[in-house]
Chain A
C-alpha cells in the first residue's frame, strides 16, 4: 500500500517538475542531440544565426506573456511590427533615431487603442486585438504600399553588427528579457498585473488600479512588438509592411504557452517564455539541418504545444 502512495506522490512530483522545468529539459535534450548528431552545430556562426532569428520572436513573446498574464491575449503584434516597418521607412529621412522613435510611438498607440478597448470599453481581448490585427496591417500598407529598401548606416548596423561577437539584435533581446523579468518579479506593477490576471474583481476591491494596469500592459506589448519590427526591418535592410510579422502572434503565443504561462492568467513565466521560443527555433533548425521538410516541423511543433498544454493542466 505504501508503494502505491509513493508511486502516486512520485507522479505528482514528476508532473509538477515537468510543469516547472519541462521546457528547459526539452531545450537541453534537443541541444545535446544536435551537438552529437548535427555537423557544424556547435560552430559560433550557427549559434549567431539561430539567435538572430529567434530574437524578434522572443521580444514579441515577452509582451504577449504579460498580456496573457492578465488573462488577455494580443493578436495585433504582427501587424504592429509591419506598422513599425512602414514608420521606419517614412521617417528615415529625418535620421535613424527619429524613425525608430516614431515606430515605437506607433506601437505604443496601437497598444493604447487595444488597451482602451479592453480596459475601458470592455471588449474581449481576442476580439479587440483581432480588429487591430486586420486594421493595423491595412494602415501599415496605406503608409507604405510596397517594400522599400534603405541604406541608412545606423539602421543597417543595428541589423548586422555585433558587439564582442554578439549581434546587437540579440543584445537588445537579452536586455529586454532582463528588464521584463525584473518588471514581473520585483516591481509593484508586475505583482499587480499578475493579481489582476488571477482575479480581477478581487484586485479591484483591493484598490488596485485595474484599468491603468491593463492599459499599460497592452501599451508595453505594442512597444515590444514595435521594437521587434524595427530590429527585423534593420536586419532585412528593407521595410516590408506586407509580409513582415505575418503569423508572429501565433509564434509568440506558442512560445508563451510552451514556456508554461497558463492562458487563464495569474502567472507570467519570463524565462520559460524565452525557452519556449528557443525550443521552437531549435526544433525547426534541427529538422531543417537533417533535411526534413517544413511540414514535419509544423507537426512536431503541434506535438510540443499539446505536450505543454497537457503538462499545464490543473493538478488533481
Chain B
C-alpha cells in the first residue's frame, strides 16, 4: 500500500533517517517503534508530505509519489493523527470534523445545520456526546484526539498514521479506538501505529518495524516476537541487561516519617477543585491518581500558583506561600513540570541553553546582566547529568525529540534547586529508554530530599513510583493509599468509587 525505499533525510547536524526501507501492506496494522530520536516522527513526516526525503523513494499503491504538502497526502488518502492534536481549537467541534470538506448547501455556502447534525451522529459513534458547536479546545485532550481520529476515518483515508494516539485516552476510549482500528483493517485500509505502550502494540498490530538512530533494525510479524527481545532491539542493549533491570526504574525506598515539606490545604475553585488537601514529605514521591478531568493537573497548577483559587492555601516547610502567583511559588521552591510540553513548557524558538536557563536567569545574572559563564556551567552540568542528546547547547530545542525536550524542562527546574517538584505526566509520549532515565532521575531527586508529586496516567508508573497515592475524582480527594495498599487494583477501585471506607 505504502512503502519507502532507501529514504534519507538530514537536518543541520543530524541524519534523522539513513536509508530506511519501510513497507506497509494492505489491511495491515503496522507498529513503528523506536527510542526518541530514532527517526519515527521524521519517517511519518516523510510519508505524509510534511518533509521531503533528501534521497530515496516513497511509493503509494506501487506508484512513486512526492507529496508537496500534508494536504496533498491527505487528498491521496493518507491521514495523520499526531501526538499533539493539531486541529483548530478555536473552531467548533463540527467545523473541525469537516474542515476542508464541509457539506455545501445552495450557492456553495456551508450548510451548517447539516454539518452539525452529521457531526453529532458521527461523534456519538465514537462516544463523544458533547455539543458539536462548542469550540474544540474546550474538550478534554482525549476527546480532541477522538475527534481527530473520527475526522481521518470519515475522510475515507486509505492509510491512517497514528502517532501516540492513546497517550491521552482513557481505557474505555482506547477500547473504542481499537475497535475503530479493527474496522479499518476489515475494510482493507492500513494503519501505521506509533506507540510506546507495548501491550497496545501486541493487542492491535500485525507487524512491527523498529528504528534506531535513523536506521531500520528490524521488521517482521509481531506475533512470536518476544517482548523483551523487542525492547532490546529498540534500546540496542542485550537481552540480559533488560531482563535484570526490569521495565520501570523506580527503586524501593523506605517510608519517610519527616514532617511534610509541602502541604496543600482545602484547595477549592468552583467547578474545578473541591477542598483538595494533600501533604508530601521530603524524600517522598506521592502519586496523584484519577481519570482525565478529575482535577489532577488543576491541583498541580493550583499548588504552583498558576490557577487562581477561591479558597485554600499552600505551605512549604510550614511557611505559607502567597497565593495566585507563580513567582512566589517558585521562590518558595515549588516547581511545576507542565503536562503539555509543547504549549506550556518549551520555548521552541530558543536554544537548549536558553531553555534550561530560562527560569534561573535572575540567579545567573548580576545587576540585570546575564553572566554567560555561570549559564554555561549550569547548562553543561545538567546536559551531562540528564544526558540530554543534542547537537550542542545552541541547538533549537524544537528540533529535539520529546524525551530530550522533557529532560531540558527538568533541567530548567533543577537549575533552580527546587524543594518541591510537581511532575505532570513526566514520561508521557517519550520512549522506553528516556522514560527509564527520567524515572531513575525522579527517584534520585526524591533521594536527595525533594518532595515529589507525580501525576501519571500510566498506572504501572504510579504504583511503582509512589510511596503513597492520593486519588481524585471530580475535583475531590476520594482516597489515599499507602504502603502495601498501593496497587493498580486499589487505585482503580478508588477511582471507580468502590472502596469500602
Partner of B368, one of A4, A187, A267: A187
Contact of A191 among B51, B338, B349, B361 (CB under 8 A): B361
> Is B343 a contact of A201 with CB atoms below 8 Å?
yes
Q: Does the CB pair B369–A186 fall under 8 Å?
A: yes
Question: Could you tell me the distance between the alpha carbons of A166 and B361 in the complex, rounded to whole angstroms?
Answer: 38
Q: Which residue of chain A is the closest to B326 with respect to CB atoms?
A: A207
Q: Is the Cβ of A204 less than 8 Å from the Cβ of B306?
A: yes
Provide the residues of chain A in CB contact with B357, threshold 8 Å: 191
> Is A208 in contact with chain B by the CB < 8 A criterion?
yes
Within 8 A of A (CB), among B392-429: 412
- Please, how many residues of chain B have a CB less than 8 angstroms from a CB on the other chain? 36
Residues from chain A with a CB closer than 8 A to the CB of B479 are: none
Cβ contacts under 8 Å, A4 to chain B: 54-55
Main secondary structure of the interface of A (DSSP, over half): helix
- Closest A-chain residue to B350, C-beta based? A198
Tell whether A195 is near chain B: CB-to-CB under 8 Å: yes
Q: Which of A192, A199, A209, A266 contacts B327 (CB 8 A)?
A: A209
Interface of B, helix, strand, loop or mixed by DSSP: mixed
B354 CB–A CB distance under 8 Å: yes
CB distance from B346 to the nearest CB of A (A): 6
Tell me the B158-217 residues at the A interface (CB within 8 Å): none
Is the pair A188, B55 in contact by a Cβ cutoff of 8 Å? no
C-alpha gap A188/B368 in the complex (Å):
5
Q: Which residues of B contact A202 (CB under 8 A)?
A: 338, 343-347, 358
Closest-by-CB residue of A relative to B343 is A201
* Min distance, Cβ A261 to any Cβ of chain B, angstroms: 11
Partner among B8, B12, B306, B347 whose Cβ is within 8 Å of the Cβ of A199: B347
Cβ contact within 8 Å between B369 and A204: no
| 8 Å CB interface, B42-70 against A | 50-52, 54-55
- Whether B10 is near chain A, meaning CB under 8 Å from some CB there, is yes
Contacts of A265 in B (CB 8 A): 349
Known contacts being A188-B368, A202-B346, is A5 close to B412, with CB within 8 Å? no
Indicate if A49 sits at the interface (CB-CB under 8 A). no
Cα A287 to Cα B359 with chains together (Å): 49
Q: Are A188 and B361 in contact (CB under 8 A)?
A: yes
Given the complex, which residues of A lie within 8 Å of B344, measured CB to CB?
Answer: 199, 201-202, 205
A-B contact pairs, 22 of them (CB 8 A): A5-B8, A5-B10, A5-B54, A8-B54, A186-B370, A187-B365, A187-B369, A188-B365, A188-B368, A188-B370, A191-B354, A195-B347, A195-B354, A199-B349, A201-B344, A202-B345, A205-B336, A206-B326, A206-B412, A207-B359, A209-B327, A267-B349
| B contact set with A: CB distance below 8 Å | 8, 10, 12, 50-52, 54-55, 304, 306, 326-327, 329-331, 336, 338, 343-350, 354, 357-359, 361-362, 365, 368-370, 412
